[in-house]
């Protein structure tokens, strides 16, 4: 039941928002769970050093796997419930089939929605895998992904606006005009 | 004597011609500076907050210098034709003062143009765009200017939408990263001003958001302005220098 598929960040098309400070974008697991028509396919998101601590018998929608308790009380949560019907195979050419982890901002503090796909609380790194449950029995899972690190924003006051130096043009103008002005003053003095 | 007379006439002719050119250039300088000051590309609020206002100061000085050059050139023509020592002395002294002002204007324009780097605009944009403090009027103007800029030029940020991701900003304080990785104005908008595909825009799918930065749209017009003021002024001053030298020479040759 361990499928060889490894979840990964979307490579095509190139997305500017592939990773932001609190979201990242995965490819949908198309043509991966064939045969598991009745299973619920969940996405498990874990801190990268907690993947071994995650037990496949975990039940989604409980406080042990609730998004709201991540990462302080639990080291992994389950979200993005789907069935095989959501991931039809084969993928139509030209369609963009992605999953945006972290897109649901309305429920991120709502304890009544433990399976919320809420914005990730920090830059990570995180690892994800897909888990197929039939009833509450785990029937298939993918491999864990490579660690995914999100972007961290630098403070805007670190942008250096120090003088980039003077261009040759400005130096030329200053020098030449000063010389011309000096000659004129000298001429004026000589004249009088 | 006839030959010396001819030389004097030639010198007079040259000086009159020189002054005519100065007069016309003065009018052209005034017109050019009025055009720049009238803010044709709507970029004045952005420059005002960068404290790099030198280009506008230089343009204002240019307006008055241009008018002064025109007036003085008429004085100069009259002085040369009448061969009057007093008139020409007044002309020379006033021209030197005008020369000094125009010199200041050119150097200011050139110096401030150097300081308009992308980092400068980036820092100002991050700190002021959508700064929600309602008391701050200049920030509202900056926000409006940026919105117009991004709408008209189909661009986003200074270097690109990732400006909003790489740095903290006033915008980020009031808009969550997951909902607004970058401002909505960076999305491709339809006729009603709504994003054509909001999810596509948030993901950054090519075609649904503006991926290039606005720095070119800003620096292009501003650089043209600065070069216009600085180098045209420089050219006028070089010509004025020659005419003034000629006038001084002519003046010293006039008998009392």
User: How high is the pLDDT of residue B239?
Assistant: 94
Q: Contact at 8 Å (CB) between A32 and A129?
A: no
**Cα B246 from Cα B256, distance rounded (Å):** 18
From A119, A166, A169, residue closest to B176, measured CB to CB: A119
What residues of A are in contact with residue B113 (Cβ under 8 Å)?
167, 170
> Which domain, by its residues, includes A46?
1-152
On chain A, the residues whose CB falls within 8 A of the CB of B238 are 176, 180
B167: helix, strand or coil: strand
Range from A24-28, A90-94, A142-146, B71-75 carrying the lowest mean pLDDT: A90-94
- Maximum Cα interatomic distance, chain A, rounded to a whole number of Å: 107
- Residue A47 falls inside a structural domain: yes
Region at B83 (left for phi over 0; alpha for psi -120 to 50; beta for the rest): left
Q: Is residue A185 part of a domain?
A: no
Nearest residue of B to residue A21, measured between CA atoms: B177
Residue numbers in A near B94 (CB within 8 A): none
Q: Tell me what percent of the residues of chain B surpass a pLDDT of 90.
A: 25
Long-range contacts, A160-164 (Cβ 8 Å, 24+): A160/B119, A161/B117, A161/B119, A161/B120, A161/B123, A163/B114, A163/B115, A164/B114, A164/B115, A164/B117
Nearest to B163 by CA among B117, B131, B126: B126
**Residue A14 Rama label (left phi>0; alpha psi -120 to 50; beta):** beta
Alpha-carbon dihedral angle through residues A29, A31, A37, A43, given to the nearest 10 degrees: -10
pLDDT digits (tens, 9 = 90+) for B116-164: 888 888 888 888 888 776 666 777 888 888 888 888 899 998 999 988 8
**In this predicted model, which residue has the larger pLDDT, A191 or B103?**
B103
Q: Do A177 and B234 touch (CB under 8 A)?
A: yes
Locate the chain B residue with the closest alpha carbon to A26. Answer: B203
| A74 assigned to some structural domain | yes
B97 vs A39 pLDDT, higher one: B97
Tell me the pairing of strands A98-101 and A24-27. antiparallel
The reported pTM is 0.80
Lowest mean pLDDT among B22-26, B27-31, B169-173: B169-173
Query: Average pLDDT, whole number, for chain B?
Result: 87
Which architecture does CATH list for B118-213?
A: Orthogonal Bundle (1.10)
Cα-based torsion angle of the residue sequence B138, B144, B146, B151 in order, rounded to the nearest 10 degrees: -170
**What confidence category does residue A164 fall into, taking pLDDT thresholds of 50, 70 and 90?**
low
SS3 label, residue A3: coil
Task: State the pLDDT confidence band at A68, using cuts at 50, 70 and 90.
Answer: confident
With CB atoms and an 8 Å threshold, state whether B234 touches A176. yes
Residue B57 Cα, gap to closest chain A Cα (Å): 17
Q: Cα dist. A42→A80, A115, A147, B191 in Å?
A: 6, 10, 18, 39
Residue B211 to residue B130: CA distance in whole angstroms? 20
Partnered with residue A44 across adjacent β-strands are A78, A129
Of B103, B126, B245, the CB nearest to A181: B103
Structure tokens at B16: 């009159």
pLDDT tens profile B192-211: 888 888 888 888 888 898 88
Residue A187 CB: number of other CB atoms within 10 A?
20
Confidence of residue B96 (pLDDT cuts 50, 70, 90): very high
Domain tally, chain A: 1
Contacting residues of B for A12, CB less than 8 Å apart: none
| Lowest-pLDDT choice from A12-21, B125-134, B233-242 | B125-134
User: Which distant-in-sequence residues (6+ apart) come within 8 Å of A134 by Cβ?
Assistant: A36, A38, A39, A40
Cross-chain CB nearest to B168 (options A103, A156, A173): A156
pLDDT reading at B256 higher than 80: no
Which sign does the torsion angle of CA B148, B151, B153, B158 carry? positive
Contacts of B35 (CB under 8 A, 6+ apart): none
Q: What is the CATH number of the domain that holds A8?
A: 2.60.40.10
Percent of chain B with pLDDT over 70: 96
CB contact under 8 A, A184 and B238: no
- Which of A103, A170, A177 minimises the CB distance to B114? A170
Q: What is the mean pLDDT of chain A?
A: 86
Question: Is 60 exceeded by the pLDDT of residue B2?
Answer: no
Q: pLDDT band at residue A93, thresholds of 50, 70 and 90?
A: confident
- DSSP bridge pairs for A40: A133
Whether B95 has a pLDDT exceeding 50, the answer reads yes
Considering only the beta carbons, identify the residue of B203, B211, B248 that sits closest to A25: B203
Give A-chain residues touching B103 at CB under 8 angstroms.
Answer: 177-178, 181
Residues of B in Cβ contact (< 8 Å) with A166: 111, 114
* Among the partner residues A17, A104, A185, nearest to B202 by beta-carbon distance: A17
Give the per-residue pLDDT at B1: 47
**Going by DSSP bridges, is the β-strand pair A40-47/A126-134 parallel, antiparallel, or unpaired?**
antiparallel
**Nearest CA to CA, how far is A15 from chain B (Å)?**
5
Which tokens sit at B198? 């909001």
CB contact (8 A) between residue B177 and residue A119: yes
Cβ separation of A22 and B178 shorter than 8 Å? yes
Q: Which residues of A touch B160 (CB under 8 A)?
A: 16
Token representation of residue B136: 């701050």
**What distance in Å separates residue B136's CA from the closest CA in chain A?**
19
- Cβ atoms within 10 A of the Cβ of B86, count? 9
- Residue A65's pLDDT is what? 84
| Domains of chain B by residue range | 7-114+222-253, 118-213
On whether the CB atoms of residues B37 and B59 are closer than 8 A, the answer is: yes
CB contact under 8 A, A119 and B241: no
Query: If you count residue pairs, one on A and one on B, with CB atoms under 8 Å apart, how many are there?
Result: 141
**pLDDT tier for residue B3 given thresholds of 50, 70 and 90:** low
């Amino acid at each position: 039941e361990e499928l060889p598929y490894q979840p990964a960040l979307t490579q095509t098309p190139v997305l500017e928002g592939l990773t932001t400070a609190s979201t990242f974008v995965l490819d949908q697991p198309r043509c991966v769970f064939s045969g598991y028509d009745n299973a619920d396919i969940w996405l498990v998101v874990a801190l990268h050093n907690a993947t071994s601590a995650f037990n496949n018998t975990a039940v989604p929608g409980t406080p042990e796997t609730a998004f709201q308790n991540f990462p302080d009380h639990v080291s992994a949560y389950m979200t993005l419930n789907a069935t095989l019907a959501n991931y039809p195979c084969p993928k139509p050419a030209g369609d963009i089939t992605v999953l945006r982890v972290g897109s649901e901002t309305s429920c991120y503090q709502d304890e009544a929605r433990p399976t919320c796909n809420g914005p990730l609380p920090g830059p990570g790194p995180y690892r994800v895998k897909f888990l197929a449950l039939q009833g509450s029995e785990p029937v298939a899972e993918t491999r864990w992904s490579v660690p995914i690190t999100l972007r961290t924003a630098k403070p805007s006051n670190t942008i250096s606006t120090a003088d980039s130096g003077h261009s040759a043009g400005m130096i030329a103008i200053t020098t030449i005009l000063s010389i011309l002005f000096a000659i004129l003053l000298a001429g004026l003095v000589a004249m009088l | 004597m006839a030959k010396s007379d001819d030389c004097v006439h030639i010198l007079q002719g040259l000086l009159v011609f020189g002054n005519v050119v100065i007069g016309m250039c003065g009018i052209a300088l005034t017109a050019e500076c009025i055009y720049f000051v009238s803010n044709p590309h709507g970029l004045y609020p952005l420059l005002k907050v960068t404290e790099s206002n030198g280009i506008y100061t230089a343009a204002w000085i240019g307006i008055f210098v241009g008018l002064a050059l025109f007036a003085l050139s008429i004085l100069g023509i009259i002085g040369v034709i009448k061969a009057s020592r007093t008139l020409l002395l007044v002309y020379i002294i006033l021209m030197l003062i005008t020369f000094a002002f125009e010199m200041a204007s050119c150097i200011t324009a050139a110096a401030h143009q150097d300081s308009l780097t992308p980092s400068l605009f980036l820092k100002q944009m991050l700190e002021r765009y959508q700064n929600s403090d309602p008391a701050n009027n200049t920030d509202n103007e900056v926000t409006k200017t940026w919105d117009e800029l991004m709408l008209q030029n189909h661009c986003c940020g200074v270097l690109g939408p990732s400006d909003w991701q790489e740095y903290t900003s006033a915008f980020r304080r009031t808009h969550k990263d997951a909902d607004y990785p970058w401002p909505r104005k960076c999305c491709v908008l339809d006729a009603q001003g709504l994003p054509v595909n909001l999810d596509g825009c948030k993901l950054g799918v090519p075609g649904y958001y503006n991926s290039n930065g606005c720095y070119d749209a800003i620096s292009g017009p501003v650089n043209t302005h600065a070069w216009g003021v600085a180098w045209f002024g420089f050219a006028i001053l070089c010509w004025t220098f020659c005419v003034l030298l000629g006038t001084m020479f002519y003046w010293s040759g006039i008998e009392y």
